[in-house]
Every structure is written in C-alpha cells, then in structure tokens.
Amino acid sequence: MQCFKRPLTYVLNTLNKIPVWFFVLALPLLGFCYTIDKERLLKIAQNLVKERYGNTYKVEDLIYFSPKVELPDKPITFEVEKVGTTLYLEVIDLTDGRKISQIPLKVGYVKTVVVPVRTIEAGQVLTKEDLKKVKKVFPYPPKGFITDIDFAVGKIAKVTLKEGQPIRKYQLEDRYSIFPGQEVKIIFRKPFLEIQTQGVALDRGKVGSQIRVRYRNKIFLGRVKNENTVVVELP
C-alpha cells in the first residue's frame, strides 16, 4: 500500500465537516500513515467525555508528554473509560478489539453550587437576594457544597462568606429560635398526661436543640419546638 505520509490534522482540517471517526477508520484503507497532535486528541477526548457524561466533567488536558501520538496503520476507534476516579482516552484496534493505548485525562469536576453575590459577614442571616447559583469547575470531586438556595435562606453564616466562593454546609447554622431570658411556653409531657405553663429560657436554642428552662425556681431540660415553645419530657 502506498503511504501519502499526511498527518491526521492535515486531513481533518481539509475535510473538517466529516466526522472524526470516519477518517480514523478510513485512513488506513486510503493508504495514509498518520500521526495526531495533542490538540486534536484533546478535542476528541472532550467530545467523547461530553457525549458520555454530559457536563459532569471538563477535560482540561492529556497527561501525555509527547506533542504527537503515532496511530497504527489499521482500523481504530477511540473510547473513554473511567477507572476509579480517573478518566482515560483509549485507542482500540477494531480488527480484534485490543486496547492499543490508554491516555489518562486531566479533568475538572463541574458542579452547580450556591455562592454569595456579596461578602457575608459571620453572624448575618442569609436571604434569597444574597445568593445565586453558578457552575464551578473543581480539581477534585466536590462534596459538602450547598446546591439549593432555599436550603441556605434563613440560616446564619458561621464564618465570613466571600463573594463568589462556593458555600459549604458546615459554614452555616440554623438561626436561634429562643434566647436567654425569653418567656416561653413549657409543655410538660409524660405518658397520658400533658401540662402547659409559662417559664423562662435560660439558654439560646434552635428548633430541635435542648435548652434549660426555669419554672417556679426549678430548672428543667427541654427541647425547642418553635420560637416560643419548649417541650419537657417527664419520666
């Protein structure tokens, strides 16, 4: 077979409206001996990853040191494979299904997260106007970030939240419903009996948390039900 010694990029740039895979399969039959440069290989990897995984990953580079890759003079195809947390671009021999080459990909992890539209100081209550959703690319699998604006609204910033920086769940806390010295309704409960009376909160607390309350100079431990009610379970 005569070899025209044209690089794959030459053919693709000349007839770029025909799918890449057509040339990859057909070039050996046409008598081309070819190489593929890193830029074109990266584009193939990006397209395959997007086709298979949608917008979950952003392929940033090939972990490959040569500026060009030599492809064998036989029918081949490209595939993307995930092993553990690493994505690979694989070159497959179509004649026998053998894996010719496996190139690791440097990828970013794409996730839509909630960020502040301005810097929020510690102790401030978050409102819907303080927040927006944006797509961010992370160098690692993103975990613990807030993805729902409604989850953050009404919560208190435990630390300063910088404008445009993704918010993590541990950076927020629920707003306190009851404060020390506040007059509250106390519900004393025991099996088949419930008594309601008034008392005073001795601690601050969120809904669901335990605080001390005082009733007739006695101190009880109860659970906050809402912004003015504490439930004390009696033995």
In this prediction, residue 65 carries a pLDDT of 62
Q: Are 152 and 126 in contact (CB under 8 A)?
A: yes
Report residue 85 as tokens. Answer: 């947390």
Tens of each residue's pLDDT in the chain, 235 residues: 333 344 444 444 433 444 444 444 444 444 444 677 888 889 999 999 999 999 899 999 988 766 677 777 778 889 999 988 889 999 888 888 888 888 899 999 999 999 999 999 998 999 999 999 999 999 988 999 999 999 999 999 999 999 999 999 999 998 888 999 999 999 999 988 999 999 999 999 988 999 999 999 999 999 999 999 999 999 8
> In the block, which residue shows the tokens 């940033």?
60
Calculate the CA dihedral of residues 111, 114, 115, 116 and round it to 10 degrees: 170
Calculate the CA dihedral of residues 9, 13, 16, 21 and round it to 10 degrees: -10
In this prediction, residue 96 carries a pLDDT of 85
List domains and CATH numbers for the chain. Answer: 37-68+77-175 (3.90.1210.10), 183-233 (2.30.30.760)
Cα–Cα distances (Å) from 60 to 50, 118, 155, in that order, read 12, 29, 36
Rounded to whole angstroms, the Cα distance separating 70 from 168 reads 45
The whole-model pTM stands at 0.62
In this prediction, residue 202 carries a pLDDT of 96
Q: Which amino acid is at 162?
A: K
Rounded to whole angstroms, the Cα distance separating 19 from 50 reads 16
Kindly tell me the burial class for residue 112, based on how many C-beta atoms sit within 10 Å of its own C-beta (0-12, 13-18, 19 or more): middle
Q: CB neighbours of 50 closer than 8 A, spacing ≥ 6? A: none
Of 67, 68, 66, 73, the closest CA to residue 5 belongs to 73
Task: Using the CB atoms, write b or e for 23-62: b if 16+ within 10 Å.
Answer: bbeebbeeebbbbbebebbbebbbebbeeeeeeebbbeeb
